[in-house]
Chain A
Amino acid sequence: MTKQNTNQATADQFQFADPSKLNSQHDGVAQKSLSFHEKAWHQLKHDHAAMVSLVFLLLVALFSVVSLFWMPHNPNAQNVDLSNLKPFTNGSYILGTDGLGRDMLSRLLYGTRISLMIALFATLVDILIGVPYGLVSGWCGGRVDNVMQRIIEIISSVPELVLIMLLLIVLKPGMVSIIIAIALSSWVLMARLVRASAMQIKSADFVLAAQAMGESPFQIALHHILPNTMGVVITRTMFTIPAAIFLEALLSFIGIGVKAPNASLGTLLNAGEKGFQFYQYQLWEPVLVLSLMMIAFNLLGDGLRDAFDPNTRG
């Protein structure tokens, strides 16, 4: 802490620095400002589990699309001579055949496509009902909100699966009914989340500013509230899809979902379970496909939630 010897210092060092040096060095270095969605994407990219899941799901989607045009075999073509072939024993039937000699791989591709389609359409309906409902409820508030919330309370007082089964009894059996039944029972949560989000955004300064600028309530809801609830909607979607896949599988497994000759992961599980004692691959194959998809959706959903939620971001 004593005075140091500074004799070596040149006289020039003790001249005043060039003013251009001021505020230039180390000033705001590397402070790129990213938009909210860029930050979310940036965060998501570093979430390895979520990215692996995303790639896996994209691959599944790709296979499903390809299977529309080409499959190794006709998934419904029966060949009794080649029934119950074990996997990897026949070059033409890589994943083996089922009890009726149908190609397991083709049936899996087909079943996955049907399951995915049901889940995606159910989710779409879920969004189409849930988002506007939540938006109106949260944005209007007051008595409208009160009534809309009571309706939601009544619907959610019936357990989801019970409601779905009730609807399935009434509707004509078939894929459309399953989609409607699943969507009608699951939109409630989406509506609640969107409502909570809308109410939060409603009191934000930029909404007040928009009001002050004279924008109409409808414009504000459309241009300011809706875009800002997107994070919640996207995240929730990532949980709705696997839930729908699960419900479809469950219903078809019980025997009130997709009916033969159509195949879904649920009907494959149902078929696989019957012969499980003897032909275990017939259950394990759809089980693996289903659970990997479920895990991937959940991991991606977790990643998205962390990315969109500023609270969990460090």
Chain B
Amino acid sequence: MQILEAEHICKSFDRTEVLKDISFSLEKSQVLSIIGSSGSGKTTLLRCLNFLETPDQGIIRVKGETVFDGSDASYLKESMIRKNRLHFGMVFQSFNLFPQYTALRNVMLAKELQAKARPDYKEKKKQILEEIRAEAEELLRQMGLEDRMGNYPHQLSGGQCQRVAIARALALKPDILCFDEPTSALDPELTGEVLRVMKELAAQKMTMIIVTHEMTFARDVSDQVLFMDEGYVLEHGSPDEVFGDPKEERTKQFLSHFFAS
């Protein structure tokens, strides 16, 4: 069963076509890496899945259920978008943690706000908040941050911030976790600790889409690799196919910068 199907996604900014008829699908528990040069449309594709950009055309289905259809305006309603984007979690290149909250509160906040809409919130407020806190603490422990829960983002290293951001995204239990160049703002040492956490998530069968320039990581962790160039998907296959035996000249040229053979 495909957990995600994207069909004929198109997106333009003014007259610049950034995504030109992108289609792909992803199975549950798989890891998809999207690679390609800057400006190829990788990030825009990820942002379309999270509805940070609205595709001009195309259909997105999650677990068989349509969450976006470019020909049906009812999918553009704010409440609809807010509900549907929760299928996806998002981890940003620049972390985007909330600076005035501790690591723990960063992870808890969205869940707390959601809980307020529950009909039994008033009666069981204490118990609900206790559960949310326990879950958040457990997630931060998984990220190796048990002694950093009370710290504010500015007191954390970039790698720690990014792991808090991953925990924050996981707190809402998304079906698919998206990463937008999660290590591009980090030095090699900090990159290592974030990639380790992502590998663990892959091992725990989290479905993930990763936009990355870490080619070795993409080759090692992914089940599928998608190579994008100028708004098109040029190559789509297993890491062995894309990295080992690329069909297109452009792919070879791009990869030659990473793997000197």
Do A and B pair up? The answer is no
